[in-house]
Amino acid sequence: MDENNLIRIPEPALNDFCIGVLTKLGVPRDDAKIVADNLIAADLRGVGSHGVVRLPIYIKRLIDGGTNARPDIITVRQTRTTAVVEGHNGLGHLVGVRAMEVAIKKASDGDCVFVAVRNSNHFGAAAYYAEMAARNGMIGLVFTIGAIDHMAPWGGAEAVLGNNPLAVAFPAPGDFPIVLDMACSVAARGKIIVAAKEGKPIPVGWATGPDGLPTTNAAEALKGVVVPVGGPKGYALTLTVGLLSTMLSGAFFGRDVGDLYEKTSEPQNSGHLFGVLPVAAFDEQASYAARMRKGIDDIKGVRRAPGSEQVFLPGEQEYLAKLVNLADGVPIGRLGR
């Protein structure tokens, strides 16, 4: 994001603002705190496409009745190592946190656990939930269905898939976990939304317009489809993530997926899948940490390519951005300028 198009807001002030807006719309204060923390965490990590920029659409859905401000989030089916969570059409960030909490609690005695979710909504950055597991000494796995169909199957010309993000977080010695958080498109649609709001072009290869041709016009790209990363491999990956996110819980898939932005009075029935692998179930924590340290040293210690100052681990640049933004203020784009 262009620094000249940013304002910086102290994290406590932005947090209070988000909580205040959500509680005005009927969201209980404790629930609003969870949603606000999730949104601001994305902005702190430099992932503005999944941060406070999304708050207006969540507000609109609450006002229009498409999202339930006071969901009764419950476990409707479970075994010792699995569960299905009913999100009751609540804000996805809240539903996601509650479901991952179920997974972590079930895994506290050493079992590997998977929790499927139905009747949720767009839940922001997947890394947030994977990191919850990593902070508890567990490898966290997160899959989610996209909140809008904006990708065509490979060889098709009609959008019936989302870009269906996934995240994996590994506990690691040091200050931050190793975190993969990726959408299955070349770029997350949220980045195109940000570019459109700022009136900026997007790189070639991110999306096609409504005519099916590649475009650098962000507004036209929002009318077309995003391009899968790796061509047919990305299509297969987004299909797989979509199936994992929905088929175990009964969440919507394919043509049934609602449009986050256009159908704001209708429930989305978004699905997620959360998995946790407790390190202690496989080996002593100290042994795991030693192997991770050796692996990290191997990666960080490679000979650098020309022009490269250092090799970053997945999640490292986001961690460094967080340190800067906590000190300088959360970067928020001046929308509409």
Q: How far is 151 from 163, CA to CA, in rounded Å?
A: 6
Q: How far is 98 from 76, CA to CA, in rounded Å?
A: 13
Mean pLDDT of 13-31: 98
- Helix, strand or coil, per DSSP, at residue 12: helix
- Identify the bridge partners of residue 170 per DSSP, sorted by sequence position: 178
Please check the confidence at residue 5 and state whether its pLDDT lies above 80: no
Alpha-carbon distances of 66 from 22, 258, 263, rounded to whole Å: 15, 10, 8
Which tens digit of pLDDT belongs to each residue from 254-306? 999 988 999 999 999 999 999 999 999 999 999 999 999 999 999 999 999 99
Per domain, the residue ranges of the chain are 3-185+228-282
Please check the confidence at residue 213 and state whether its pLDDT lies above 90: no
Encoding tokens for residue 41? 């965490």
At residue 33 the predicted structure's pLDDT band, cuts being 50, 70 and 90, is very high
Q: How far is 284 from 279, CA to CA, in rounded Å?
A: 8
User: Are 150 and 254 spatial neighbours (Cβ–Cβ below 8 Å)?
Assistant: no
* 3-185+228-282: CATH topology: Ribosomal Protein S8; Chain: A, domain 1 (3.30.1370)
At residue 337 the predicted structure's pLDDT band, cuts being 50, 70 and 90, is very low
Question: If you average pLDDT over every residue of the chain, what do you get?
Answer: 94
Which tens digit of pLDDT belongs to each residue from 178-195? 999 999 998 877 788 888
